[in-house]
């Protein structure tokens, strides 16, 4: 009687600690897609009935695996004559898929003239281990014809003095017509994950800085097609203070708070319009958002959890563009996915001297994860 008990006990002791080895292997997944042009840029294939985005280099960029510091691991393949691309040996991860943008020309339906436009494809997906192979149909995008936030430099320069006052926001007119800055507002998004984030008809902000002029109707401050607008936190040569900081003395605009007693540099002002906010325009160094709205409407919302200040609500229908950035891809969203479905700046460290910039000027799918890339060297105003 004793022997079986002891034997069973020994078996239990071993069996309890041994886990069964998985049969499904990582690194064995594949991805197939057909890329179609819906913009009329590429020639229609009469047999297949679509215009294949043919012989273009497609890049898959892993969200999890890297090849060097800040450099995601990449898989590359060419689309074939039918626009098909097939990539194998993928690890379990989220991926960003894109093609390099190609310059092309077409007849503008509006002006009847030849337009130079950039076109490519972009998407993201996560490996589905159950399916093994991902299958997608992708469509080409072109540059969005709008005024957009094109680059944000928030991380601060490489320094040990905690200096980050050379932040800037760059706008870009990606349309083929003149746009106007009059009365537009640039806001720092609140750093809250609002419980009704996806159903609210507003976005929350902390600061509101406004361009001069009359919202919606003003025409005093034009932005020509293809023109950049640089708005500096302080339009001065910051490299005089910190070697690695930026020279923003040529900025056309600067954020200015007349209530904060700060120096008013020669650049034109984008002015704080909230009397209870006495700080300059500063945004968080790792996770925050910037909102560009037409300035026609905003109102006070709920009070801060502590203190007497109130959040500012910007109605979504007035928002022209919004960009949320976070160094951590797993952060909670603070701007609704209706305006921005992802994060720019994943993996971008504080005080790294890096910025986030659109993949191509003006490229906007309302998903900053797709639209933005991390730039080693900021490009203020260009």
Partner 1 sequence: MKRISTKALFILFLFYAITAQAAENRLRAMGGLSCSVPDISAQINLFQIAGNRALLMRNDTLSWLYYRTDGFNNWGNLKRVWDAEREYFYDLSFSGQKKIGRDQMFAGDICYIWDYRGEQQYAIEKYPYAADPFVLADYTSGDLLFHGPRVSVSFSQNAGKGWFLGVGLNYSINRGLKNIPTEPEIISREIRATLDAAWQVSDQLTFGLSLLPWQVQDITKLVTLSNGLEPTTRRYRGEFEFREKTGTADRTVNSAGYEWRPQMSWRNRHWEIAVFGRIGIQNQELYDGTTQHHYDGYFQQLTLGGHSVARYLWSGSGNQTAFVRYIFEYEDGWAREPQQKLLFFRKYDRRHRLVVGGSMKISASILAAVELMVDYRVPRQIDFLAHRNRSGIISNIGLHGGFEYELNPDLFLRGGFQLNNYYENEVWQYFGNYSGACITAGFGWRFSRFEIDTAMMAGRWFGSRQAYRNHLNINFQMKQYF
Shortest reach from residue 140's CB to partner 1, in Å: 31
Length of the chain: 382
Give the interface segment with partner 1, choosing from 21-29, 45-53, 206-214, 307-315 (CB under 8 A).
21-29
Q: Which of 84, 92, 165, 228 binds partner 1 (CB under 8 A)?
A: 92
Give the interface segment with partner 1, choosing from 86-94, 134-142, 176-184, 365-373 (CB under 8 A).
86-94
162 lines the binding site for partner 1 (CB under 8 A): yes
Yes or no: say if 84 and 135 are a contact pair by the CB < 8 Å rule. Answer: no
Taking the least distance from each CB to partner 1, the nearer of 11 and 105 is: 11
> What spatial distance separates the first Cα and last Cα of the chain, rounded to whole Å?
85
150 lines the binding site for partner 1 (CB under 8 A): no
Give the interface segment with partner 1, choosing from 11-19, 142-150, 224-232, 299-307 (CB under 8 A).
11-19
66 lines the binding site for partner 1 (CB under 8 A): yes
String marking each residue 325-354 x if it binds partner 1 according to CB under 8 A: --xx------------------xxxxxx--
Secondary structure (3-state) at 240? helix
Yes or no: say if 208 and 236 are a contact pair by the CB < 8 Å rule. Answer: no
Quick one: which of 306, 363, 14, 338 has its CA closest to 197? 338
Taking the least distance from each CB to partner 1, the nearer of 11 and 107 is: 11
204 lines the binding site for partner 1 (CB under 8 A): no
Quick one: which of 311, 271, 320 has its CA closest to 291? 320
5 lines the binding site for partner 1 (CB under 8 A): no
Shortest reach from residue 260's CB to partner 1, in Å: 24
Side-chain half-sphere CA neighbours of 247 within 13 A = 3
Distance from C-alpha of 313 to C-alpha of 187, rounded to nearest angstrom: 10
Distance from C-alpha of 324 to C-alpha of 27, rounded to nearest angstrom: 31
Q: What is the DSSP string of 107-127?
A: E-TTTSSEEEEEEEEEEEEE-
Interface residue list for partner 1 (CB under 8 A): 10, 13-14, 17-19, 21-28, 64-66, 69-70, 73, 89, 91-92, 129, 160, 162, 286, 327-328, 347-352
């Amino acid at each position: 009687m004793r022997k079986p008990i002891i034997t069973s006990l020994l078996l239990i002791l071993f069996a309890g600690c041994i886990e069964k080895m998985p049969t499904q292997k990582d690194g064995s997944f594949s991805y197939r897609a057909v890329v179609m042009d819906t913009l009329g840029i590429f020639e229609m294939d009469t047999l297949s009935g679509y215009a294949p985005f043919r012989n273009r280099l497609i890049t898959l960029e892993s969200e999890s695996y890297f090849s060097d510091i800040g450099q995601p691991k990449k898989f590359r393949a060419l689309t074939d004559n039918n626009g098909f691309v097939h990539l194998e040996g993928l690890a379990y991860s989220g991926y960003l898929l894109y093609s390099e943008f190609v310059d092309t020309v077409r007849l503008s339906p509006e002006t009847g003239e030849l337009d130079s436009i950039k076109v490519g494809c972009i998407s993201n997906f996560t490996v589905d281990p159950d399916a093994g192979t991902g299958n997608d149909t992708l469509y080409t995008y072109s540059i969005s014809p709008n005024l957009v936030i094109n680059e944000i430099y928030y991380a601060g320069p490489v320094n040990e003095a905690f200096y980050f006052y050379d932040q800037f926001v760059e706008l870009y007119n990606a349309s083929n017509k003149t746009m106007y800055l009059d009365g537009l507002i640039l806001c720092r998004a609140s750093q809250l994950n609002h419980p009704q984030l996806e159903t609210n008809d507003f976005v929350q902000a902390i600061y509101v800085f406004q361009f001069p002029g009359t919202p919606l109707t003003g025409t005093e401050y034009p932005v020509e097609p293809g023109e950049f607008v640089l708005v500096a936190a302080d339009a001065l040569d910051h490299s005089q203070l910190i070697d690695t900081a930026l020279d923003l003395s040529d900025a056309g605009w600067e954020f200015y708070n007349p209530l904060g007693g700060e120096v008013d540099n020669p650049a034109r002002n984008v002015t704080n319009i909230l009397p209870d906010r006495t700080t300059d325009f500063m945004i968080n160094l790792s996770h925050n958002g910037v909102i560009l709205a037409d300035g026609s409407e905003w109102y006070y919302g709920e009070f801060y959890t502590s203190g007497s200040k109130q959040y500012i609500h910007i109605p979504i229908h007035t928002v022209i563009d919004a960009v949320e950035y976070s160094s951590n891809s797993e952060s909670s969203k603070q701007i609704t996915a209706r305006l921005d479905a992802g994060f720019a700046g994943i993996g971008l460290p504080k005080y790294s001297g890096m910025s986030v910039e659109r993949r191509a000027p003006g490229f906007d799918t309302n998903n900053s994860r797709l639209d933005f890339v991390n730039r080693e060297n900021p490009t203020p105003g260009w």
